Structure 1
Amino acid sequence: MLFRPRTDCPRTTRFPTDRALTALVHSLAVLALVGGPALAAQEREAPASLEDLIPDSAVDDPESWAQQGTDGSVETASDALGEPEADTPISELPDMPVAWPEEVELAPLQELEPEEDIRFADLLGDSPQIAFDEADMERISDALVLGFPQKEPPFSERGDFVDRFTALSTIEELDDGDENVAQLAARARKDEELLGTLLRVYGYYDGEIVRTIGTRDAGEDTAEQRPRVRFDVIPGPRYSVGTVDLGELDSAPDAARLRKAFEIYPGDFLQSDTIVAERFDLDRALGETGYPFAEIDQPELLIDHERTAGDLTLPVRPRGKYVFGEVVSSDEAFLSSRHLSEIARFEPGEVYQRSLAFDLRRAVTATGLVSAVGVEAREVTPPQGDEPGVVAMDVTVERAKLRTIAGAIGYGSEEGVRIQASWEHRNLFPPEGALKLRGILGTREQLGGVTFRRNNFGGRDKVLTVDAYASSVDTTAYDARTVALTGTYERTSTLLFQKPLAWGVGAEILATDERNRIVDGVARPRQTYFVGALFGRATLDTSDSLLDPTRGFRVTGFLAPETSRTQGEQFYYLRSRVDASYYMPLGERTVIAARGAFASIQGADLVGIAPSRRLYAGGGGSVRGYGYQSIGPKNEFMEATGGRSLVEASLEARIGTGFLDGAVSIVPFFDLGSVSTSTTPDFGEVKMGAGLGVRYATGFGPIRLDVGIPLNPEPEDAAVGVYISLGQAF
């Protein structure tokens, strides 16, 4: 037998060795066998003690005494009994026949009745099985309940605590009825750890979690019961902030203002979330007030249970204040330093801001000319006393592939077959000077054109475009053969940089030979127009997205004074248009969107205005259910003549379904429009359309499918209109 010391015995306690103990036990056995009769006699006369049976030599020197036993100086138990010692075990068992009763009747086993009240008290036997009677209860699910027995001090963060636990609980993930005892046991242990972690997040470092298990009724049949886990949460006192050490922050010139960015002070309640958030706020404040090289290490929290407080250490190293210097390009021939300085939203001498450095990086990426870009601050002049240092912004770029060939083939019920192709070099004239050749071959449209575009010309997101093209277009309303030259300078709103104000100005000259549509095979006479125009537009935009707005409004105004010469006469007129849209969320999944438009041409008769520049309605962006440009005045030959004034209105509800993780929306809509030959609307004929659409949200915007029905169609109008595009209708 092997003896091992108890760990709870005094350090000074000594135990004999295993070998000596073995000899001692062996000797005691020998004494017991040899002195059996003598001991019996002594017992009748005077009881012998254990000390009388053990020789003094065994106590004084157990090792030597044990060695003597092995030399044969002590009789064995066999010798004492006078029996021969067996050298080998018994090879054969003695023959001991036992008669088996031939007829034995066994009592039948009694069937056990199931216990009516089965409790799962031993399911989690490693945890205290205590439930508090006076506790506020929070039912998380049928299988999970939280109890809050502590009344004082109150658990001030209880509501948020329960919400976070519900979102992270592993028991909550079980569907009702699917849980079993093994699953519940495993997940209950994880949830107990989660509750303890959450308590410490909120500053309750002495909190306790008491886990119990019970049953819940499954319904009217009380014989069927299911397990339920209950956690009683005893937060204890909430710890507060002790000392706050922010490292070298006091060395910064703006130390007082930066300290206000870290809004944790001694005496505040401790909360890990707050520490993380305030560390981020301090880091952002350093980056936005001139500290490009500042460093903040991970926070350290020393908990003192006696004071119920935690001392917070956040090592901060500001490393000097700086202002912007020059922007330096790594590839001058491709994107020059001067051009990058025009893109940047800062000027030399302004206080460094990390957000502006990041903005420059995004702007270079948005050019589409680079495959990789980096922007780093480099010290040029160190700070001297109260004077800040200067940093240059080094921009490193890697050239992307600059040539693009694109093509598309499509078919539409209104436009027939359409094949489109283009070739573009996006930096043929550095910096950012692009040349594009394009062509269209289709049933109703043929076009060839060349476009020069320079992005970020004269400032950020300002674009100069010169476009020359020749086209032949045969629409529902007119047939036009046109040669045109257009120049535009604009400030654009892009998906990366949506702007509250976008504008554009330009000029256009064109020559076009046009006629109204052929009706019943009768060709109408063609008429040539020479047109010159100046134009300008501006957009106010408070919406939250260009492609899928959910709130805000947009208002766009367009104004174009034009002159037209045809058949020896000169005409002067003013084209104007206003479009407005409004977006309002209704609940969590529904957006109400409304649109209105008004347009007018003032100053010339209809005959002096080319058919392609008159006003029409109908189509996917106008009155759905009708064909493109199919709404408008008609002459006695039922030719669409176009008008000089237009009114449109649309209303739709974009209703989220939750289908495919919320990507699919249903959109019922109603549109109306009216076109008049006069310069102000007379509403002589108002066309209305209604229908239903589907939107599928993607990472770059919704894909739109609308099916519209004309409510008061003409005989030549189709019974239904289908429209597919990227983005919302408006």
Structure 2
Amino acid sequence: MSSAIRRICGAAAAGSKTDWLGGAALALVLAGGAPLAAQQRQTDDDLRALIPDAALKDPEGWAKAQAAKKPVAKEGASDAPASPVAAAAPSADLAALIPDSPMDAIAGLDLPWPEPGKEEATIPMPAALAAQEDGEMLAAAMERVPPPGAARLAARNPADAKAQGKEQERETTLASGRARLVWPADAAAMPEREAFERRFRDLSALQGLGAHDADAVAQLVVRGSSDRKLLEKLLKVYGYYDGEVTQSLIGPNPGADGTPESGAAGAAAPPTGVRFDMDPGARYHIGAITTGRLEDTGKDAARLRAALAIKTGDPLDMDAITAGTNDLAKALGEAGYPFAKVPPASLTIDHARDEGDVDVAVEPGGQYRYGAITSALPRVMSPNHLGDIARFKPGQVWNQKDVEDLRRAVLATGLVAGVNVTPRETAPPHDGQPGVVALDVAMSRAPVHTIAGEIGYDTGQGARVGASWENRNLFPPEGSLKLRGVVGTNEQLAGATFRRANFLGRDRQLTVDLYATNTTLVSYAARKVAFATSYERLTNLLFQKPWTWSMGLEVEASEEREGVPSGVTTGRILYITTALPLRAGIDSTDNLLDPTKGHRASLRISPEQSWARETQSRYARIQADASFYRSFDKVVLASRVRLGTMPGSDIDYVAPSRRFYAGGGASIRGYGYNLVGPRNALGEPRGGRSLYEFSIEARVNTHFFGGALQLVPFLDAGGVEAGTVPKFNDWRYGAGLGIRYRTGFGPIRIDAGTPLNPRAGDSRIGVYVALGQAF
């Protein structure tokens, strides 16, 4: 009906024969419906008298009936308007008021009249109004879309193009192109720009806007407003308290002809992002600095104040202030103040002098020394044992770093699930002397029993199934007993191991092992009963040590032979061997299981004595290992060297299981386990008295599985010789490719290698699976 009303108004404007009063009356009639019926009772009586009752009951029917009664005007008829009374009469010319009738042309109006039902398609709505209907009304006032042809104007004017290029140099596009930060032309206006943008990138709301939301203007506006507030906060973090951030929408990119690209059906393309014009303004500086009662620390005050690391006149940087406050709290804890309170710094901004005053309300709480250690679970870990683990002694000045170290060491035992170390005052400070605090160690029990199993297969060692049971605190404190067994095609084993952790000192372990084994390998076959004990300084994932050492005693009685039982080789020979193995190592790497830089080196010397073939022999097994690691961007280059010698006895008086061998996943990959070295007359490996191995590999990080996957090409080389001094004339080479999947407990390693100069009997490929890197 709205179309009909517009036609009525148009007809009146064009000088239709229908007079203005008749048009008005008929417009009210054609509006129809209950609202008009309700309003007509309030209409002026004179106007109501002009409207026939039939028109009120059926407006459209009445209008059509009147039109049918009146013939269409002939050409040349007078266009003079009729009187209002005549227009209201039933005989009035109503042909122009029929909804579907054409309208006369209107001078000065060149827009096409809308077709019924197709108004929006006939007359395109202006872009600004369309944007408002799509929810862009909030952003329309601040939108800075370049006008059409701006790119062409810049191209025509070299000076403008140069200025535009200069502006581009100070812009940074972030959030996948959704955010554009435009900085002042002077790049030195904000030296913290890189750190600022990195933090904005991590916190930006526009960063989370998905590709499918690219046309969601409302999302751009809302997220852009959130990012503008974020930018204003970040400016204050770096001391720009007068900074301003202006937000505007980014228009579409210019097309080939220099005009903005258009959307569907020729409509203007929607904004693609948000532009932030940055005006940091002057940077504020630190004014007065107050530190509460820090002066109560006396001679320690100057050193503690230096830990705050900020001074009057420094640029106002909340990161530096927060870091300084944390360093001050740490310094107080390490200087003997267990009850010190260091609240977050408060800041008072003075805009008149462009400064901010910093107040850190320190409460030192007094200096203390260590007293006694108490244990909440003395049967699990006694106070004396906690004292052995601790790196401090009673009477020393409190140091929070050592207390935290004790807490981690107790957790590392595996006997407790949680630890909390709380200082308790037993004597207050007096006469300038520190007080005394006891350490209450609260612990929650952890399960002490462990049942483990393993199953696997190796081409060199066959199928293998193993199981073990362990009580980690059967002999408190930290005395464990482990029973283990292995059933396999090439190995059977039963054994018992006793360990006492943190024995006679921190990170020192006593181990006693008794076992019996039957092993059948390609290189040798041995039935053995052995006793071994060692005392060593351990390294582990929580406390990786730069220096480690071990000393021990080994006694073995074994029946062994070279090679597998073939029916041709000689029978087994009884060997009784005693050894005193000594080892020392150094480690400067950054990770125990997956190093990326640093080096490792170790030396093992084991004087041994053997009884075999009614002959007593003495010899020594000496082995040196070194590995080096260096990181190059996404590649870690790792190399390894191993040298060994066995001076003293002839090789026939050394048990085959104690000779040098090479080949396998931790040696020369591509060759089978222990298959590199001298062979006997039947072609079976018999081991040697000298060893040399060299390896190099590149651990290449990839983007697969979130960066957890590495590709590792490698090259190994080495050999074993019968003499004590190698002549390096029997090199074997192996090469291949491995993958590493890095987990929280270390990388899982899968290597596939092939021998480059194989001998008869060597496989063409070897596959090795293990936990941790090859070296």
TM-score normalised per structure 1: 0.83
2:335 and 2:399 in contact (8 A); partners too: yes
Which of residues 487, 492, 514 is equivalent to 2:533? 487
The one-letter amino acid paired with 2:339 is F
Show the 5 A alignment for 1:161-310: 161-174=196-209, 179-180=214-215, 181-217=217-253, 219-220=255-256, 222=259, 223-224=261-262, 225=269, 227=271, 228-253=273-298, 254-310=300-356
Q: Offset at 1:128?
A: 8.4
Match of 1:540 in 2: 586
Which of residues 640, 659, 679 is equivalent to 2:685? 640
Match of 1:715 in 2: 760
* C-alpha distance in 1 between matches for 2:543 and 2:303: 31
- The answer on 1:137 being equivalent to 2:170 is yes
Call closer, same or farther: CA 1:606–1:169 in 2, change over 3 Å.
Answer: same
* C-alpha distance in 1 between matches for 2:515 and 2:688: 26
Match of 2:699 in 1: 654
Which of residues 151, 157, 172 is equivalent to 2:192? 157
Which of residues 516, 535, 558 is equivalent to 1:470? 516
Q: Structure 1 stretch 644-653 or stretch 112-121: which is displaced more?
A: 112-121
Match of 2:158 in 1: none
Point out where structure 2 has 5 or more consecutive residues left out of the alignment: 1-40, 56-62, 68-93, 106-111, 115-121, 147-162, 263-268
Q: Deviations over 1:97-138 (max 9, x none)?
A: 565533632365375579899998966145486999886631
* C-alpha distance in 2 between matches for 1:689 and 1:659: 27
Q: Structure 1 stretch 656-665 or stretch 677-686: which is displaced more?
A: 677-686
* C-alpha distance in 1 between matches for 2:461 and 2:514: 23
Show the 5 A alignment for 1:440-479: 440-479=486-525
Match of 1:79 in 2: none
Call closer, same or farther: CA 1:363–1:116 in 2, change over 3 Å.
Answer: closer
Q: Offset at 1:421?
A: 1.4
* C-alpha distance in 2 between matches for 1:392 and 1:303: 43
* C-alpha distance in 1 between matches for 2:403 and 2:375: 14
* C-alpha distance in 1 between matches for 2:505 and 2:473: 17
Call closer, same or farther: CA 1:564–1:351 in 2, change over 3 Å.
Answer: same
TM-score normalised per structure 2: 0.79
- The answer on 1:109 being equivalent to 2:155 is no
Match of 1:312 in 2: 358
RMSD: 2.6
Q: Structure 1 stretch 393-402 or stretch 319-328: which is displaced more?
A: 393-402
* C-alpha distance in 2 between matches for 1:313 and 1:601: 70
**2:725 counterpart SS class:** coil
Match of 1:72 in 2: none
1:119 and 1:215 in contact (8 A); partners too: no
Match of 1:631 in 2: 676
Call closer, same or farther: CA 1:468–1:290 in 2, change over 3 Å.
Answer: same
Match of 1:346 in 2: 392
Q: Offset at 1:179?
A: 1.6
The one-letter amino acid paired with 1:338 is N
Which of residues 663, 680, 689 is equivalent to 1:618? 663
- The sequence identity of aligned pairs, in percent, is 46
1:150 and 1:234 in contact (8 A); partners too: no
Q: Offset at 1:519?
A: 6.5
Q: Deviations over 1:369-403 (max 9, x none)?
A: 11222211111211113211111111122332222
**1:183 counterpart SS class:** helix
* C-alpha distance in 1 between matches for 2:43 and 2:736: 102
**2:189 counterpart SS class:** coil
Q: Structure 1 stretch 472-481 or stretch 169-178: which is displaced more?
A: 169-178
* C-alpha distance in 2 between matches for 1:153 and 1:694: 46
Which of residues 309, 328, 333 is equivalent to 2:379? 333
Match of 1:49 in 2: none
Call closer, same or farther: CA 1:530–1:182 in 2, change over 3 Å.
Answer: same
* C-alpha distance in 2 between matches for 1:273 and 1:478: 65
Q: Offset at 1:325?
A: 1.8
* C-alpha distance in 2 between matches for 1:478 and 1:212: 79
Q: Deviations over 1:594-623 (max 9, x none)?
A: 001001100111111111111100000001
* C-alpha distance in 2 between matches for 1:172 and 1:430: 55
**1:549 counterpart SS class:** coil
1:143 and 1:176 in contact (8 A); partners too: no
The one-letter amino acid paired with 1:493 is T
Q: Offset at 1:435?
A: 1.2
The one-letter amino acid paired with 2:181 is L
Call closer, same or farther: CA 1:232–1:171 in 2, change over 3 Å.
Answer: same
1:137 and 1:145 in contact (8 A); partners too: no
2:449 and 2:470 in contact (8 A); partners too: yes
* C-alpha distance in 1 between matches for 2:361 and 2:603: 55
* C-alpha distance in 1 between matches for 2:550 and 2:173: 57
* C-alpha distance in 2 between matches for 1:146 and 1:372: 48
Call closer, same or farther: CA 1:416–1:151 in 2, change over 3 Å.
Answer: closer
Structure (1/2) with the larger helix percentage: 2
- The answer on 1:675 being equivalent to 2:720 is yes
The one-letter amino acid paired with 1:605 is D
2:145 and 2:249 in contact (8 A); partners too: no
Q: Offset at 1:155?
A: 2.8
**1:505 counterpart SS class:** strand
Q: Offset at 1:173?
A: 4.4
Which of residues 466, 488, 506 is equivalent to 1:420? 466
**1:277 counterpart SS class:** helix
Which of residues 630, 654, 678 is equivalent to 1:609? 654
2:629 and 2:637 in contact (8 A); partners too: yes
**2:675 counterpart SS class:** coil
Q: Offset at 1:89?
A: 5.7
The one-letter amino acid paired with 1:148 is W
The one-letter amino acid paired with 1:356 is D
Call closer, same or farther: CA 1:246–1:127 in 2, change over 3 Å.
Answer: farther
Call closer, same or farther: CA 1:130–1:197 in 2, change over 3 Å.
Answer: farther
Q: Deviations over 1:576-605 (max 9, x none)?
A: 000100000011x21000001001100111
Q: Deviations over 1:275-304 (max 9, x none)?
A: 111110101001111000101122221222
* C-alpha distance in 2 between matches for 1:399 and 1:210: 58
1:464 and 1:489 in contact (8 A); partners too: yes
